[in-house]
Chains A and B, each alone.
Chain A
């Protein structure tokens, strides 16, 4: 009974190899590997080159676990017991096949090590991204700051120049210079804002303001731009919106100007619609929905994921100026003000941005 079980389960799991003192194979039962006789065991696999040097040692026994031996298409993972022999006994080797056991162990180790390595890799990537981001923000902040001084100097002297005696042609040149200088100023301001937002230095100021007054000022800036492009401007402000609110009027203005400027920029014909609606209201808080809708170029599906990314221009046309920062700044400001931004777009038909912002009602 024992012999039957042993033969079935253990017989083909072991091999015995007898060597002489020079490491030549004398006998082998070849149950796992076919090992040529009368040749050095070290020719069979490099593992045994080290074993041969142990034959000279006094009687000793060594166990080598988990040795991968792949010879003549027989690939096994075995434990090797080496007995260095004695005066009366030849050295011998016993191989025990643990391939299945070690394969299971390998799978577990693979999973464990991979998770450790992937954790370290993501940690490393995060560090690199953080350091690149810090470098970018520092660079942007320094460059923008340094550029502001000459821009203000230029503006100051252009205002002076404008008041001197100039011909019509010269006045035209001065106006072009002033427009260009203003444009550079806006670009630099965007860079500065972005670096402040990304480095966490942009703060929202909560103070009492009149929504009506803010919107009137906003429309007075936007209307001439719409008229210049001969677009229709539709304004729909819901009746009886609480006027006295607490919030950051400058950032609100910045968000709306950016969205409206964008719409005007990307619309050749048709209309721009600006709406303000009450989304929710209670005794202390009001949530307002601002909608800016245009009949412009729309955004391609392939670029939808880039809409709020900095330095991603959604149109390659050289006629459309900018650094691709406007919508990135808007989405960051909306987030800072605890609001939400979303948009609907159809290529060639237009885009509609919706911003929802909460405000405290001033008492």
Chain B
């Protein structure tokens, strides 16, 4: 069986949304930061049990407020991956508020959260900081090192298919 779902990467600029997408789809990484304007779209097929699921991934330009994202970009989205940068607290200060907005506005969509650039920090220390701020992050990934990238895309696929 085949199916196709739209997944949108959201979060502030410079958190590594494009890097996560490229690591997942093309298995490449570049240290050169290139600002995304508008949207880049790539797709990759994953397997969830017997289902061949095509993830159509929308890498949209970073915004410090999810409500500033062009609504047309989010039309028909089945899954969101919310990306934060652990080295910049501005990228997760309003995390709970932003995730609540997505849940309310797109109630049927699934959300997976990820802290990218985990190669730059002490993950245990950062988990303590998040705990103090009552923020729950699903994955601590590194697009640079290829850590947890496959898992987080697999997870959003599973959530969308199994409706969990």
Contact = CB atoms under 8 A, between A and B. Distances in A.
Contact of A106 (B37, B43, B58, B70): B37
Contact of A46 (B33, B34, B43): B43
Contacts, number: 67
B9 to A, nearest CB: 14
Interface of A: 45-47, 49-50, 53-54, 62-68, 77, 102, 105-106, 109-110, 113-114, 116-117, 120-121, 124
B34 A110 contact: yes
A45 B70 contact: no
Interface residues of B, number: 26
B69 to A, nearest CB: 12
A68 B40 contact: yes
A255 to B, nearest CB: 41
Nearest to A69: B41
Contacts of B41: 45-47, 67-68
Nearest to B54: A49
B75 interface: yes
A68 B6 CA distance: 16
A64 B35 contact: no
A38 B58 CA distance: 26
Interface of B: 4, 6, 13-14, 33-35, 37-43, 54, 56, 58, 61-62, 70, 72-73, 75-76, 87-88
Q: Which of B41, B42, B62, B72 has the most CB of A within 10 A?
A: B41
6 contacts: A49-B56, A68-B39, A102-B38, A106-B35, A117-B14, A117-B33
Contact of B72 (A62, A105, A110, A124): A62
A54 B76 contact: yes
A192 B66 CA distance: 53
A49 B6 contact: yes
Nearest to A63: B72
Contacts of A47: 39, 41
Contact of A109 (B35, B75, B76): B35
A54 B73 CA distance: 13
A37 B159 CA distance: 36
Given A46-B43, A120-B87, A65 B70 contact: yes
Given A46-B43, A63-B72, A120-B88, A77 B38 contact: yes
